[in-house]
Amino acid sequence: MSTKIKINSQIFQDSNNVYYPKDEVEVSDLIRELYKQDSPTEIIGNNSKSFIGNKTQSANTTSLSKISGIIDYRPEELYIKVKACTPINEIEKVLSENSQELAFEPIDFGYIKDGKSNKGTIAGYLSCNYAGSRRFKVGSVRDHVLGFKGVNGKGDIIKSGGTVVKNVTGYDLSKLIAGSFGTLVALTEITLKVLPKKDSSKTVIIYPNNFEQIYDLFNKLSSSSSEISGAVFIPEQSNDKEFSAKRNNVFKFNDLKSKVSFVAFRVEGDKISIEEKINNLKKELELNNSDISILDVYQSEPFWEKINNLEVFEKTEHNLIRMVIPPGNGSKLCKYLENNHNYFIDWCGSLFWIEVNSKKEEKIKDLKKMANDFGGYLTVIKTSSEYDYGEPIFTVDKVRLMISEKVKQSFDPKRILNPGKMYRGV
């Protein structure tokens, strides 16, 4: 950490030279000063996801962690406005008291980082835009952001959006901010759409025989009018004893045969409609003579928590890949992954979480090529200690990189905010 930058302000700075502005005016003052001095800064929240992305090329660190608290929660208007670094746990707690939730189902990256829960802040989560299992039904984080306030790379306080769902006034910058890894603005305020929590849930487990059957199930599930809100495939990984033991332990439920491969899908709603949907789906999926298990709400809820905590990859020291492809190409990818890597599939066949052994960085290159060929993309979410960044951890083509540079320039011309966090030059 460099100590050469002297900021002429009262902004609190700890012994590691991390700045802690306490409100948007202080964030603005700080960034304006850094802008004048051409001195970039890393932007962090509660540090729960700072391991994702490249290491920033900056002399300073700005923590927005003091910018926290609920500003305005209107359950009847289905929105909550919060200061940017409000912990997700705090938001979920207050929503839950009103039977509401963040429908995109935040992933808890704390488990893969160091084995314990740490959902971090909403600003951090929005900056990554990684939605949980319900994504294919309700949309991603970006679909639930109604507006924001923040400070751009020149120190200007800017805002976009509002508190209403229907809003086409000006460019939709909320979308652009989602997934921008703090490279465009330092967020200070976020307004989110919230939705009613479903009364109950059940999870149906099917034990398929082959990959074709898995994708046939996924296809039928996503084509059904009996809506489901989660569908995963957890393969058996018998060739990796250590992983296999962990996997079997994570998915130890009374009503689940966890030692074999299984597809699980979730149905949510009131109790009567859950039964109706399960009966409809049993017919559509031709399951009436198949071996299935049903997890009641007491098993169903923790099951999906484990999925969204990525618990099978808890404290992984290998590279962890997040790959998204059109589901139509999923069975081909499955065949490649079988016996090569530990993995599981979420989003009804679209999202693959893949663990790649630390010494096989070239494998990531192969996977990235496959992601591109299949019409998708991949991100190395967690890198092993041996990862040399020879293979970029994000997927981007030349034209998009060129446009990304231009967009970055329009928010942050001197590259003050998280430079290099996503791509070199951005």
Partner 1 sequence: MSELALPKIDNSILNRKSEIVKNLSKLTDKENVLSEVDELRPYETDALSVYTQTPLAVVLPENTDEVSEILKYCYSENIKVVPRGAGTGLSGGALPLQDAILLGLGKFNKILEIDYKNKCVVTQPGVTNLGITHAVQHKGFYYAPDPSSQLACSIGGNVAENSGGVHSLKYGTTTNNILGVQMVMMDGTVCRFGGKSFDQEGYDLMGLICGSEGLLGVVTEVTVKILKTPDVVRAALIGFPSIKEGGDAASEIISSGIVPAGMEIMDKALIEATDNFSKAGYPRDAELLLIVELDGTESEVNELIRKVEAICKKNNCSSLKLSNSEKERLSFWAGRKAAFPACGAMAPDYYCMDGSIPRGKLAEALLEIKKLSEKYELPVANCFHAGDGNLHPLIMFDGNDKEQLRKTEEFGSEILKTCVRLGGVITGEHGVGIEKRELMCEMFNDNDIQQQLSIKKSLDEKNLLNPGKVYPILRKCAEEGRVHVHKNKDKFPDLPRF
Contact set for partner 1, span 87-116 (CB under 8 A): 99-100
Among the residue ranges 31-39, 177-185, 247-255, 307-315, the one whose residues contact partner 1 (CB under 8 A): 177-185
> Judged by CB under 8 A, does residue 139 bind partner 1?
yes
**42 bridge partner residues:** 61
Task: Copy the structure tokens of residue 259.
Answer: 């030692």
Q: Collect all residues with Cβ–Cβ distance below 8 Å to 283 and sequence separation of at least 6.
A: none
Q: Supply the minimum distance, in Å, between the C-beta of residue 380 and partner 1.
A: 11
> Judged by CB under 8 A, does residue 52 bind partner 1?
no
Number of residues counted as binding partner 1 (CB under 8 A)? 84
> Judged by CB under 8 A, does residue 179 bind partner 1?
yes
> Judged by CB under 8 A, does residue 192 bind partner 1?
no
> Judged by CB under 8 A, does residue 140 bind partner 1?
yes
Which positions from 272 through 291 interact with partner 1, judged by CB under 8 A? Answer: 272-273, 276-277, 280
Interaction pattern, residues 224-263, with partner 1; x per rule: CB under 8 A: xxxx------------------------------------
Which positions from 317 through 346 interact with partner 1, judged by CB under 8 A? Answer: 324-328
> Judged by CB under 8 A, does residue 1 bind partner 1?
no
Between helix 330-337 and helix 211-222 the angle, nearest 10°, is 150
> Judged by CB under 8 A, does residue 403 bind partner 1?
yes
Q: What is the DSSP string of 151-171?
A: EETTS-EEEEE-S-S---SS-
Contact between 190 and 84 (Cβ < 8 Å): yes
Q: Supply the minimum distance, in Å, between the C-beta of residue 254 and partner 1.
A: 28
> Judged by CB under 8 A, does residue 351 bind partner 1?
yes
Q: Cβ–Cβ contacts within 10 Å for residue 306, how many?
A: 18
Q: Supply the minimum distance, in Å, between the C-beta of residue 270 and partner 1.
A: 6
Q: Which amino acid is at 154?
A: K
**Measured between alpha carbons, how far is 152 from 411 in angstroms, rounded to an integer?**
6
Q: Supply the minimum distance, in Å, between the C-beta of residue 223 and partner 1.
A: 6
The length of the chain is 426
Which string of b and e fits 253-290 if b means at least 16 CB within 10 Å?
beebebeebbbbbbbbbeeebbeebbeebbeebeeeee
Q: Supply the minimum distance, in Å, between the C-beta of residue 394 and partner 1.
A: 6
> Judged by CB under 8 A, does residue 394 bind partner 1?
yes
CA dihedral 290, 136, 124, 377 (to 10 degrees): 100
> Judged by CB under 8 A, does residue 158 bind partner 1?
yes
Pick the binder of partner 1 from 62, 65, 127, 160 (CB under 8 A). 160
> Judged by CB under 8 A, does residue 407 bind partner 1?
yes
Taking the CA atoms of 416, 417, 423 and 426 in sequence, report the sign of the dihedral they define: negative
Task: Copy the structure tokens of residue 411.
Answer: 């928010």
> Judged by CB under 8 A, does residue 391 bind partner 1?
no
> Judged by CB under 8 A, does residue 77 bind partner 1?
yes
SS3 135: helix
> Judged by CB under 8 A, does residue 172 bind partner 1?
yes
Backbone angles phi, psi at 410, to 5 degrees: -75, -25
> Judged by CB under 8 A, does residue 219 bind partner 1?
yes
Pick the binder of partner 1 from 27, 34, 173, 194 (CB under 8 A). 173
